[in-house]
Amino acid sequence: MSKSYRDGLPISPEKFVDQLMRLKRGSIGRREFLGLTGLGVATAVMARELGIMPTPAYAAENLGDRMSIATWPNYHDPATFESFKAETGVAVEVNVFGSNEEMLAKLQAGGSGWSLFVPTNYTISTYKKLDIIEALDMAKLGNFDGSQEDPRFTSEGTIDGTIYAVPKNWGTTGIAINTKKLTKPMTSWKEFWDTAMAEGDGRTMVHDYQLTTIGNALKYYGYSFNSLKQDELAKAEELLLKVKPHLFAVSSDYQPSMRAGDAWMTMCWTNDGAQLHRDIPEIAYVLGKEGGEIWTDFYAIPKDAPNKPAGYALLNYLMNPKVAVKEHLANGAPSIDARVNALLPKEVMDNPILYPAADLLKPLEFGAAATLTDPGRAELMARFKSA
Amino acid sequence: MRAFVVAVFAFLYLPIALVVLFSFNAGHHASEFTGFSTQWYGKALSNPFLVEALKNSLFIATTSALLAAVAGTAAALGLQRVGARTRAVFDGLLGAAIVVPGVVIGISTLVALVQLFGVVNPFLAELWPGDQPPRLALGYGSIIAAHGLFSMALVAMIVGTRLGSLDRNLVEASSDLYATPLTTFRSIVLPQIMPAVIAGFLLAFTFSFDDFIIAFFVAGAQTTLPIYVFASIRRGVTPEINAVATIVLVASVLLVVLAQWQLRRRKQ
Amino acid sequence: MSGAGHKPDPGNATGGQWPAGTEAAFSMRGTLLRKNLMTALLLAPATLWLVVFLVLPFVAIAIFSVGERAPEGGYQAAFTLAQYANLPARATAFWNTMVLAPVGAFACLLVAYPVAYYLALRAPERWRLILLALVVIPFWTSLLMRTYAWMYVLGGRGIPALLAYVGIEDVRLINTPGAVLLGIVYGYLPLMILPIYVSLERLDRRLLEASADLGATPLSTFLGVTLRLSLPGVMTGFSLVMILLLGEYLIPTLLGGGKVFFIGNALVDLFLQSRNWPFGSAIAITLVLVSVVVLIAANRISARLSGARRVDLI
């Protein structure tokens, strides 16, 4: 399918990106280009051009005219969906969630309405067990090339030899800090929690997400990020309850507050850290030296997806390296696809926010499946929030 | 005192002014004004999700308010004809429908319907002669019903109060003159309770149109305007939302002015 | 809306049936039967609605509340009171609600009363209708949008930025109990103004003149006559706002940043994050019971305050 739709385009995706790259080498400055607006304008122009001609390959398949995707805050280039719409006629509604639990709850209740969603590595086995995600029909995903993916990040998408999810990008969970407001160097989770109760009083945010908030509180004591042990969780709860009155907010969408200057420090994912640092250089992104989370986000299709053809079409579109490279430039997360990495500018590949030093990466842990469903962690998080 | 009242009105209208102002923002966000533009009105009206959410909200609010007005008025009339005990039971239930917090209505309706569908759907599949048996699911029906519950109780109470103060002499006079009960109802009772029915309908419509929390739970895959706005707040509001809010505001103010004008003209 | 005590009570079994004359005249069986059938038909839709969407859901969560959380979240059948025993784990959320709801309603009242007073007794006649419309119009802009506007005003780019401009740095307003309180007063102000306005507007002005003629000071006239006679409206507004606040979810979510948690937030959290349906059901049942108790208490108090006058909530 991928081949035939490309034939129908007035301009090939390859040429499209070449043009973008030329734009970049030309008069437009780096910051502007990387910024959403630069990309947005460029793609908007392209999209309009593409929209003039119908695309027979897509038109042949009945994709409908709309679909919904469930994803994370600030995780896509809005221009991607614009150009997808220009090519296929399918408008994409983006629903944003702050935790895997929230996505799971919505899928469990039924009728989520999503045709594509973005679960994290450790949740996929549970979705499979509950029988709420599709075994992917790889014939519809011609743009995906498993041999180009770094296996360190991809294994959890495949269960018993069947592919249920394909990787989007990987990343880490660290600390974003406004170094103008908080001048003490930050290197560890211990310092994060201590600062939250001192200089960062009333200005610190933690995720509305049990895995990272509890996990990084466990790190304060040097316990495993994934611990389910009662005594260790009790210690983490004690710390969280102590910190709670000093927090600015419990929310997984911290970019607006960090940008507005309401929050000075937050638990943060790689992609948000890269975006914040790109636009506001005084906001730094650091990893806790005790460890913490390393993750891969995947794309998966719910069993009850109302528009599976469009879900597959969008997924295949996103798997196109030329599209993916723009996504990565906009959202700032490190790619898993060697074809994408080959297209990314050197300064992106050298960015220490995306690719931290090996000794910082070493202690990081992938989330464990059991944490998603463990009633103890769920109730601990709920108690912390309602305290 | 007048200064205080002016201050309170300023307080009431400051956020509304901001909502309207940002609908004319040239920039991408509803939080930084970068220049004047009307582009977001066009964008809002060509955004299929936003338009669908608006249409859904209008449809749901109209239907649930209409059903509620009919059922609520019927109930208020029926309650005039029953004994004190039956009446007390109904009053209790209607009161409960009003008092139970929306969040509880939303959650309990979700829980009950999910269980109910779990029982009914396999049954339907078994009995259905064709290949594609109908499947009950959350959607328009569940939102309309859940909104209508509150609205119906509201209408029943408002109309009930009105019936209580109805001029009974007229009713008696009418039946003394051998008018059929239907005629009496049409020519005496209905005109007197109509203002209450209309007030109930309007309140019900407003409630349903603005409700977030009940719809949030029972909407299934459907979107209403408040649900769409809530989702937008999470993904970052663009002035599209402001544009739609402004359109709704202007439309409702126009409707009221028009209604007032009509009323005055009729009086003259 | 209030002060229904003045009117003949339609619930009175004897006086409530009309047309009373007809019944005596045609006491034939058929007529009676038809009358009963008519009554049943009139009540059928409401009964169906109440049973399917009020009683049934309530029974469902009552059953769920004695169940257990399934291993992956959700509900699993059981019979245990463990969920109710766990209620103290949400004590803070209950406490926040039980404090901020009355405080919020009271703050609302303090702002609303002078406005209602001005509208009913002081405003020039030709302005009254326009001002009244101005009280209602905010209802037609989504509460979500208006609260979002407050997020902007209280957030770093709003008032704090203005304050920084005049040299007051690092003021934080959003995500505080104060911000939530402001949101509450803002959101429910019209609901408070209207019933008070109605009761003040009905006030017999000759009473005020009489009071003044008898040598009462303006203050004692206000306390002894105006305030006293407007109490039914005050209590209607107060209980209305209070009841709505007990189940509040949006305002603490948007202006409290997930930090100021109401019981409504704890409830939603249990269904949308930790997926503990049984515990959520137990909290929902408790919340309903609390609401009923609060309402009954409010009615009792208002009855005492306004001299045995019954006050309808709506």
Q: Note the pLDDT tens digit of each residue in C142-152.
A: 889 899 999 99
Question: Is B110 in contact with B26 (CB distance < 8 Å)?
Answer: no
CA–CA separation, C112 vs C210, rounded Å? 26
Interface check for B7 against chain C (CB to CB < 8 A): the answer is no
Least CB-CB distance to A382: which of C72, C155, C274?
C274
**Residue B29: Cβ-neighbour burial (10 angstroms; 0-12, 13-18, 19+):** middle
d(CA A24, CA A30): 7
Residues of B in contact with A66 (CB under 8 A): 48-49
Lowest mean pLDDT among A118-127, A132-141, B126-135: B126-135
Q: What is the model's pLDDT at position C64?
A: 96
> Looking at CA atoms only, how far is residue B151 from chain A in angstroms?
26
How far, in Å, are A219, A233, A257, A262 from residue A240 at the CA level?
12, 10, 21, 21
pLDDT at position A355 over 70: yes
Q: Pick from C183, C165, C164: which is nearest to C175 by CA?
A: C183
Report the distance separating Cα A239 and Cα A260, nearest Å: 28
Percentage of residues of chain A with pLDDT beyond 90: 81
Q: Give the pair of three-digit tokens for residue B116.
A: 């109910």
pLDDT value of residue A31: 38
| Residue extent(s) of CATH 3.40.190.10 domains in chain A | 2-168+297-349, 171-294+355-386
Put simply, whether B126 touches C (Cβ < 8 Å) is no
Predicted confidence (pLDDT) at residue A36 exceeds the cutoff of 70? no
User: Of the candidates B87, B145, B249, which has its C-beta nearest C11's C-beta?
Assistant: B87
Mark which residues 173-202 of A lie under 8 Å from C by CB: 202
pLDDT 10s digits, B160-194: 988 887 877 887 888 788 888 788 888 888 888 99
Q: What is the mean pLDDT of residues A48-54?
A: 39
The partner residue sitting opposite B49, judged by closest CB among A93, A98, A110, is A93
- Inter-residue contact A32 to A59 (CB < 8 Å): no
Which of C148, C197, C246, C251 has the most B C-beta neighbours within 10 Å, making it the best mutation to test the interface with B? C148
CB contacts, 8 Å: A112 with chain B: 221
Cβ A96–B47 below 8 Å, yes or no? no
pLDDT of amino acid A20: 44
Domain C4-16+89-305, CATH number (from 1.10.3720.10, 3.40.50.720, 1.20.1420.30, 1.10.3080.10): 1.10.3720.10
- Domain residue ranges in chain C: 4-16+89-305
Task: Provide Rg for chain C, Cα atoms.
Answer: 25
Is the previous residue joined to A345 through a cis bond, with omega within 30 degrees of 0?
no
pLDDT digits (tens, 9 = 90+) for C228-245: 888 888 988 998 899 899
DSSP, residue by residue, B180-236: -HHHHIIIIIHHHHHHHHHHHHHHHHHHHHH--HHHHHH-TT---HHHHHHHHHHH-
State the nearest Cα–Cα gap between B129 and chain C, in angstroms: 28
The answer to whether B216 touches B106, Cβ cutoff 8 Å, is yes
Determine whether the interchain pair C141/B5 forms a contact, defined as Cβ–Cβ distance below 8 Å. no
Give the pLDDT of residue A53. Answer: 37
Tell which CATH architecture fits domain A2-168+297-349. Answer: 3-Layer(aba) Sandwich (3.40)
Q: Tens of pLDDT along C244-284?
A: 999 999 999 999 988 889 999 999 999 999 999 999 999 99
Cross-chain residue pair A262–C156, CB shorter than 8 Å: yes
Q: Which residues of chain B have pLDDT under 50?
A: none
**Interface check A101 vs C, CB under 8 A:** yes
First and final CA of chain B: distance in angstroms? 36
Residue of chain B with shortest Cα separation from A74: B235
Contact B191, B199 (CB under 8 A): no
Residue A12 has a pLDDT of 45
The pLDDT mean for chain C works out to 85
pLDDT at site A5? 41
Are the beta carbons of B137 and A96 separated by less than 8 Å? no
Contact, A100 vs A125, CB < 8 A?
Answer: no
3-class state of residue A205 by DSSP: strand
Select from A262, A267, A380 the residue whose CB has the most chain C CBs within 10 Å, as the one to mutate to test that interface.
Answer: A262
Residue A29 has pLDDT above 60, yes or no: no
Residue A58 pLDDT class (50, 70, 90 cuts) = low
Whether the Cβ atoms of residue B38 and residue B121 lie closer than 8 Å to each other: no
Are the Cβ atoms of B74 and C42 closer than 8 angstroms?
yes
pLDDT confidence of C127, banded at 50, 70, 90? confident
Amino acid C36: pLDDT:
87
A211-233 per-position pLDDT tens digit: 999 999 999 999 999 999 999 99
Compute the average pLDDT of residues A298-324: 96
Name every residue in B having a CB less than 8 A away from some CB of A.
28, 31, 47-49, 110, 114, 137-139, 220-222, 231, 234-236
- pLDDT confidence of residue C103: 94
Distance of CA C197 to the CA centre of its chain: 17
Model confidence at C28, pLDDT cuts 50, 70, 90, reads: low
Phi-psi map region of A250: left, alpha, beta (phi>0 left; psi -120 to 50 alpha) = beta
Query: Which residue in this structure is represented by tokens 């960015």?
Result: A351
- Residue C2's pLDDT is 39
What distance, in Å, lies between the first and last C-alpha atoms of chain C?
5
Q: In which element (H, E) is residue A175 found?
A: strand A166-178
Phi, psi values for residue B100, rounded to 5°: -60, 125
Class of domain A171-294+355-386: alpha beta
Q: Using the predicted structure, report yes or no on whether residue A197 has a pLDDT greater than 60.
A: yes
Name the percent of chain B lying above pLDDT 70. 99
Q: How far is CA A32 from CA A19, A278, B173, in A?
A: 16, 10, 83
Selected for mutation to probe chain C from B85, B99, B190 (highest C CB count within 10 Å) is B99
Residues facing residue A96 across a β-bridge:
A71
Comparing A56-65, B17-26, C63-72, C220-229, the range with the smallest average pLDDT is: A56-65
Amino acid in position C271? F
C133 neighbourhood in chain B, CB within 8 Å: 256
For residues A359 and A188, is the Cβ–Cβ distance under 8 A?
no
A39 vs C: CB within 8 A:
no
Query: Can you give the pLDDT at residue C27?
Result: 54
How buried is residue A173: exposed, middle or buried, by Cβ count under 10 Å (0-12/13-18/19+)?
buried
Give me Rg for the CA atoms of chain B: 23
Residue A275 — very low, low, confident or very high, per pLDDT cuts 50/70/90? very high
Q: Using the predicted structure, report yes or no on whether residue A180 has a pLDDT greater than 80.
A: yes
Question: Across the interface, do C111 and B8 touch by the CB < 8 Å criterion?
Answer: yes
Cβ-defined contact of C258 to A257 (cutoff 8 Å): no
The predicted pLDDT at position A23 comes to 45
- Rounded-to-integer distance, Cα C141 and Cα B14, Å: 12
CA C203 vs CA A98, A308, B162, C206, C299: distances in Å: 53, 65, 20, 9, 21
Q: B259 and chain C: CB distance < 8 Å anywhere?
A: no
pLDDT at position A49 over 70:
no
Q: What is the CATH number of domain B49-237?
A: 1.10.3720.10
CB-CB under 8 Å, A102 with C273: yes
In degrees, to the nearest 5, what angle opens at C-alpha A240 toward C-alphas A238 and A246?
125
Inter-chain residue contact A109 with B231, CB threshold 8 Å:
no
- Residue that has been written with the tokens 């979510």 in this structure: C253
The length of chain B, given as a count of residues:
268
Question: pLDDT at position B34, please?
Answer: 84
Mean pLDDT of C139-162: 90
pTM, full prediction: 0.86
Task: Give the residue on A whose Cα is nearest the Cα of B238.
Answer: A78
Are A91 and B114 in contact (CB < 8 Å)? Answer: no
Average pLDDT, integer, range A196-207: 96
> Cα separation of C226 and C218, whole Å?
10
When comparing pLDDT for A16 and C298, which is higher? C298
Cα–Cα distance for residue pair A305/A312, rounded to 1 Å: 11
- Per DSSP, the three-state class of A117 is strand
Half-sphere exposure of A68 (CA within 13 A, CB side): 19
Q: What is the pLDDT of residues C184-228, one digit of tens each?
A: 999 999 999 999 998 898 888 888 888 888 888 888 888 888 888
Residue A241 contacts C, CB cutoff 8 Å: no
pLDDT above 70 coverage of chain A, percent: 84
pLDDT at residue A78 above 80? yes
